Amino acid sequence: MAAVAHYWASCAGGLEFALLKELENLEGTSIIPGIDSYGGVQFRTTSAPQKVAELRSADNVYAFLSHHKKIPVDKESGMAFLGSLAGKIDWEPVMQLHRLWQETEEPDSSSGISDPLLTINGMANVEQTHVTPQRSFRVTGNRICKDMKKHGYTSMDAAAAIGDGMHELLGWPADMRSFNVEVLAWIIDDELLLVLALIYSGNKKKTKNLQNVSNINEPCAEVEDVEGSEQVKSTKKKRPAERPSRADAQLYSRRPYRKALVHTSLKPSTAYGLLQLADVQPGDIVLDPMCGCGTIPLEAINWLGTRVMGLAGDFVDTAVEAANINATAGESPGHCDVVRWDASMLPLRTASIDRVICDMPFGNRCGNHKVREVLCPRVVKQVVRVLRPGSGIAVLMAQSKTMKEEIEVNQKAYLNLQKHFYVYMEGLKVDVFVVRRTSEPAPTQQIVRPIKNMAKRKRDGQLTKQAALENLSSENPVQ
């Protein structure tokens, strides 16, 4: 009988439904409820790593180590508690799972090094690892204060305490730069989730590409590291080339269309969740009017193949360039058209689109908040116009105070709000609206002044916030 493995699969908080749906269809899987504060799902499965790695809605999968509520938050008892955690974990099945994933991931890269706990006989022989430690490890701590003010310890303190406990028990040397095992400790208020990474890129050969990628800690919509991908015109600080990282080794980084990124690129796993909400069907035309690097329509094509047609557009040159690179790199080139346009005046036929799915600009790095508030209603009007009456569905992700009112009041005759909830991404709370187009024929189109060249003018320092607002709010009369 296949061994049962215990996993934590992460995803954007609020999109767990898509992960649960996928796990329902994964053979030999049982869900373990009880962890609600973290985006993700805990489960046990007898399915092989290859099958688990096919989960589209997971950002990443980890070996589950432990979960604790009401952990001490003052320094002294906190350190003592965290230092004792290693002794509470059954490391043998965890390291077996780790080895299985390493064999699956890199079958040819046998370094002759086996997992320490597999060369010894479980915990009885821990002493042996003290003599010839074969693996190095690091613990990465991440701490968030949501409802409480402050922990008595830093993330580094927490990681060090857990690491000390592991070193004492298992005898592995800690190495921050070159490690084979990485434990992640995520602390939210007085709750702790401890997992072990299964996907790595922690070797020099692979980390070379990291020179091109962005800093994942930047407070942007969705910023991430992608191995082997091209960051289009990255203006961010470069990461030291030899620093091994797990961050670029997310499960979704393997999508074949993911060759070029913009700094607001959406995670494909999140895009998949949005496609589920939109109930995309074979034969649909899927439009993202503000496409960035084109993740949403390209994920639809990657998932359903050439049975869907993608349409992507953006008004920033680098985004259009990135989307074009990705559209031709995927398995189905030619199935996603990329256009440079202004989403508030789409050059598309009325009632021609089945699904509009869009993560609109949000977060500090995506423009000015006031500009976004003016842009939202304009884009919604375009969505109303291009969606097929009676059957069209739109999923709009935005940080906007006016969006709900626009849908429920101003466009009430044309849009039916079916769902409104929040998704948590990189610490940001973002609204998601799922709307269905009513059968009411589209209203006559308003002619609006183009927002063209706004991004370029902003870059060149020619566009002030005031000018952008004036440009956006001056609409020509209805024709």
Please identify which residue in 342, 354, 406, 431 interacts with ligand SAM, judged by CB under 6 A: 342
Contacts (Cβ under 8 Å, ≥6 apart) of 31 = 20, 23, 41, 42, 43
Nearer Cβ to ligand SAM (201/344) = 344
Nearest-angstrom CA–CA distance, 158 and 260: 36
The beta strands (E) that lie in 333-398 are given as 336-340, 355-359, 393-398
Please identify which residue in 193, 296, 301, 336 interacts with ligand SAM, judged by CB under 6 A: 296
Q: Is 431 in the site for ligand SAM (CB under 6 A)?
A: no
Nearest-angstrom CA–CA distance, 340 and 321: 9
* 70 burial level (CB within 10 Å; 0-12, 13-18, 19+): exposed
The interface region with ligand SAM, picked from 102-110, 127-135, 286-294, 417-425 by CB under 6 A, is 286-294
Q: Is 197 in the site for ligand SAM (CB under 6 A)?
A: no
Q: Is 311 in the site for ligand SAM (CB under 6 A)?
A: no
Listed residue (373, 380, 265) closest to 323, CA to CA? 265
Residues numbered 212 to 241 that lie near ligand SAM (CB under 6 A) are 221
Residues numbered 362 to 391 that lie near ligand SAM (CB under 6 A) are 366, 375
Please identify which residue in 319, 353, 374, 415 interacts with ligand SAM, judged by CB under 6 A: 319
Please identify which residue in 316, 384, 434, 435 interacts with ligand SAM, judged by CB under 6 A: 316
Nearest-angstrom CA–CA distance, 47 and 159: 31
- Write down the least CB distance from residue 122 to ligand SAM, Å: 45
Residues numbered 2 to 61 that lie near ligand SAM (CB under 6 A) are none
Q: Is 278 in the site for ligand SAM (CB under 6 A)?
A: no
Nearer Cβ to ligand SAM (319/407) = 319
Nearest-angstrom CA–CA distance, 395 and 289: 12
Q: Is 315 in the site for ligand SAM (CB under 6 A)?
A: yes
Residue 96 CA: distances (Å) to CA of 118, 197, 319: 7, 13, 43
- Residue pair 390/437 in contact (Cβ under 8 Å)? The answer is yes
Q: Is 185 in the site for ligand SAM (CB under 6 A)?
A: no
Nearer Cβ to ligand SAM (116/363) = 363
Query: Which residue(s) pair with 230 in the sheet?
Result: 260
Please report, as ranges, the residues that interact with ligand SAM according to CB under 6 A: 221, 262, 264-266, 290-293, 295-296, 314-316, 319, 342-344, 359, 361, 366, 375, 451
